[in-house]
Amino acid sequence: MARNALGRGLGALIRDPQIAPQVIQQNSNLGAAAAVAPAPSVGGGPLQIDIDLIDPSPFQPRTRFAETGLEELAQSIRSSGIIQPLVVRKIGSRFQLIAGERRWRASQRAQLLRVPVVLREVSDEQALELTLVENIQREDLNPIEQARAFDRLMEQFHLTQDEVASRTGKDRATVANSVRLLSLEEPLLEWIEEGKITAGHGRALLAIEDRKLRSDLALKASRGKLTVRQLERMSTRRSRGRGQGPQAEITDPNRQAAVDELQKHIGTRVLLHMPTKGHAGQLILEFYDEEQLNGLYERLMN
């Protein structure tokens, strides 16, 4: 597989550093706006093509587009045009988006007849990776869309979490904690996508093995009755209740900060149990698959 343009995001696709804003000309008879096309630049600069000839990417990880955000972008496009061209590839007599679906949707709302594009020749595999990486780098996916994008990169291209982190500009902890969410049941994934509970709630719920209890706690969290920290404490107490003795909660803010920093560094949840009468202290590192266990081993040995 050709890799010369992969793993570098949108910058690998758009090579022209200066792209002038497009001038929008209102057509009062049609009630539509038409972009006045600049002359195509030599070497793959922006072209103007009919918006009706463009199809969305089948590789797009984003499934939800906020109505308010789209309308705001459409208004901006009506006023100032499209500053950054879409990136497309030619499929037969039509064009398929690689990057810029939100701009394309907003342009439709703004009733543009033509839009500026940069045309690139890439394979299906390249289009998949570039679309996923471009969306992840923009940080406008919801937590589940991001997790599925990371997972698809690993599955489709047989990448490790470290390699995905490198290609997307994220740290490994972000990738590992994100993909963990996909172990939740589908209804809980939908709640996270809809913003009823946070990704932090989801990670805390993963430690609850009883699915019925996990669902009940998620429902309480969705109603604002459980914070992430409360869920974490509940899951830790249940873990301690399985023969590990009572838990001493972390009350020292410096100690808690150290635990938080350790979690960020090694990319997994860390539980600290301070010694209590008759019970030794414990530092517990969670892992969810063999790859994550090997990663923890390497970090600890280094």
Known catalytic residues? 101
Burial class (CB in 10 A: 0-12, 13-18, 19+), 8: middle
> Rounded CA gap, 160 and 158, in Å?
7
First to last CA, the chain: 33
Region for residue 92 given its phi and psi (left: phi exceeds 0; alpha: psi -120 to 50; beta: otherwise): left
Q: How many CA atoms lie within 13 A of 231 on its CB side?
A: 28
Q: Residue 195, Cα to own-chain centre: how many angstroms?
A: 14
DSSP state of 279: B
Task: Please report, as a single letter, which amino acid is at residue 167.
Answer: R
Burial class (CB in 10 A: 0-12, 13-18, 19+), 3: exposed
- Residue 255 contacts residue 244 (beta carbons within 8 Å): no
Beta strands in the chain (DSSP E): 23-27, 32-36, 47-50, 54-55, 86-91, 94-99, 114-119, 270-273, 282-285
